[in-house]
């Protein structure tokens, strides 16, 4: 089965590639989405293989993969930035969307109707004026358990599939949370990436501990477990947003130790994103903040720099296509 790579950009909408990133085409205004839209999130679900949900600066939009056409998903978020989208692993009609200003909205009917969840997120923060929900994450083993990371606002947890939330940030060295990730190795290991480094929790986020790693700067952006769930994960490191250099780090032991994954060449901005899919866990794509792209065909053991550079990159996803 072939793969299509989608890239969400900070001002030039969505691009895609049908040749594993060797060339790209841009989805222009005739796709149904304004061609200078900022796209913050792309979400694909294996039980809805024909569609992608896109979080944009004008709410949620649904992309038909076969036609590459967008349709708006009307919601209270239509005039908001949608920074993150998650669907329950066992129920694709259950959708959670995180926004700026910081809020979590919930739909149980595939996006036909939405309710603002009881989260208690503050309206304002010091550094980015309004907090933004950078990540919403369902636990792959317990689908009632969900986490949200806020930039700037810490980590929140839901135990009822996103209906209600409480802050779980004790021990965080920074409330500037860029991503949350989870891996299972007997127990559950939860990760939070921040501007001051990596935090780990082994009690579902009740308490956090700093986990140092070797780097010139502690700034971390995303953390992405490889889809085969074997203890391998990738973490984006650099010197800030967008930064002037970056590295992709890899763990082989569920986050205990980290090594350089050795992206080829010199990154000219912070490493930012990794895309993985259970359909083929060996196929991975990575990006820097300012649009350098890389592909691995062997699960991240080696990487190839892709020829095309684009622009500020905020979302990355690859999906199987017939």
Residue 142: domain span: 87-311
Separation between Cα atoms, residue 240 and residue 196, nearest integer Å? 10
Query: What pTM was computed for the model?
Result: 0.97
Whether 6 is covered by a domain: the verdict is no
Convert 109-120 into a string of H (helix), E (strand) and C (coil). Answer: CCCCCCEECECC
- Tell whether 297 is covered by a domain: yes
Q: 34 and 62 in contact (C-beta within 8 Å)?
A: no
Which 3 state secondary structure label does DSSP give 48? Answer: strand
CA atoms within 13 A on the CB side of 262: 5
Whether 1 is covered by a domain: the verdict is: no
The DSSP result for 15-27, as a single string, is EEESSTTSS-EE-
Identify the CATH number of the domain in which residue 114 sits: 2.130.10.10
Q: How many domains are there within the chain?
A: 1
Residue 249 lies in a domain: yes
In a domain, 76, yes or no: no
Q: What is the pLDDT along the chain (322 residues), one digit of tens a residue?
A: 799 999 999 999 999 999 999 999 999 999 999 999 999 999 999 999 999 999 999 999 999 999 999 999 999 999 999 999 999 999 999 999 999 999 999 999 999 999 999 899 988 887 889 999 999 999 999 999 999 999 999 999 999 999 999 999 999 999 999 999 999 999 999 999 999 999 999 999 999 999 999 999 999 999 999 999 999 999 999 999 999 999 999 999 999 999 999 999 999 999 999 999 999 999 999 999 999 999 999 999 999 999 999 999 999 999 999 8
- Calculated CA dihedral for residues 275, 234, 232, 154, nearest 10 degrees: -100
Which pLDDT belongs to residue 322?
83
What is the pLDDT at residue 125?
86
200, 191 contact by CB (below 8 A): yes
Tell whether 18 is covered by a domain. no
30 φ, ψ (degrees, to nearest 5): -75, 0
Is residue 121 within 8 Å of residue 150, measured between CB atoms?
Answer: yes
Task: Tell me what pLDDT residue 310 has.
Answer: 96
Assigned domain for 9 exists: no
306 C-beta neighbours (distance < 10 Å), count: 20
**What's the confidence (pLDDT) of residue 64?**
97
173 falls within a domain: yes
Please state the separation of Cα 321 from the chain's center in Å: 21
The predicted structure's pLDDT at residue 124: 87
pLDDT at residue number 78: 97
């Amino acid at each position: 089965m072939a793969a299509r790579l989608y890239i969400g950009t900070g001002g030039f909408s969505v691009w895609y590639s049908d040749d594993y990133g060797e060339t790209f085409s841009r989805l222009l205004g005739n796709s149904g989405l304004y061609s200078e839209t900022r796209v913050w999130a792309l979400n694909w679900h294996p039980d809805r293989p024909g569609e992608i949900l896109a979080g944009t600066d004008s709410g949620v939009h649904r992309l038909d993969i076969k036609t590459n056409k967008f349709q708006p998903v009307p919601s209270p978020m239509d005039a908001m930035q949608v920074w993150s989208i998650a669907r329950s692993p066992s129920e694709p009609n259950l959708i959670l969307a995180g926004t700026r200003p910081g809020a979590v909205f919930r739909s149980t009917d595939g996006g036909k109707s939405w309710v603002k969840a009881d989260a208690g997120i503050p309206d304002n923060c010091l550094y980015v004026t309004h907090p933004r929900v950078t990540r919403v994450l369902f636990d792959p083993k317990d689908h009632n358990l969900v986490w949200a990371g806020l930039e700037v606002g810490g980590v929140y947890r839901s135990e009822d599939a996103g209906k209600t939330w409480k802050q779980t940030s004790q021990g965080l060295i920074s409330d500037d949370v860029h991503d949350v990730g989870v891996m299972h190795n007997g127990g559950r290991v939860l990760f939070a990436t921040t501007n001051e480094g990596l935090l780990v929790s082994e009690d579902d986020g009740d308490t956090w501990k700093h986990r140092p790693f070797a780097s010139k700067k502690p700034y971390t952006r995303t953390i992405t477990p490889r889809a085969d769930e074997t203890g391998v994960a990738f973490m984006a490191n650099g010197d800030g947003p967008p930064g002037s250099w970056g590295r992709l780090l890899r763990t082989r032991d569920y986050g205990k130790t980290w090594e350089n994954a050795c992206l080829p060449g010199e990154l000219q901005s912070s490493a930012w994103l990794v895309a993985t899919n259970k359909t083929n866990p060996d196929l991975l794509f990575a990006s820097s903040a300012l649009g350098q792209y890389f592909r691995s065909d062997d699960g991240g053991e080696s990487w190839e720099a892709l020829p095309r550079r684009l622009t500020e990159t905020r979302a990355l996803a690859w999906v199987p296509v017939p």
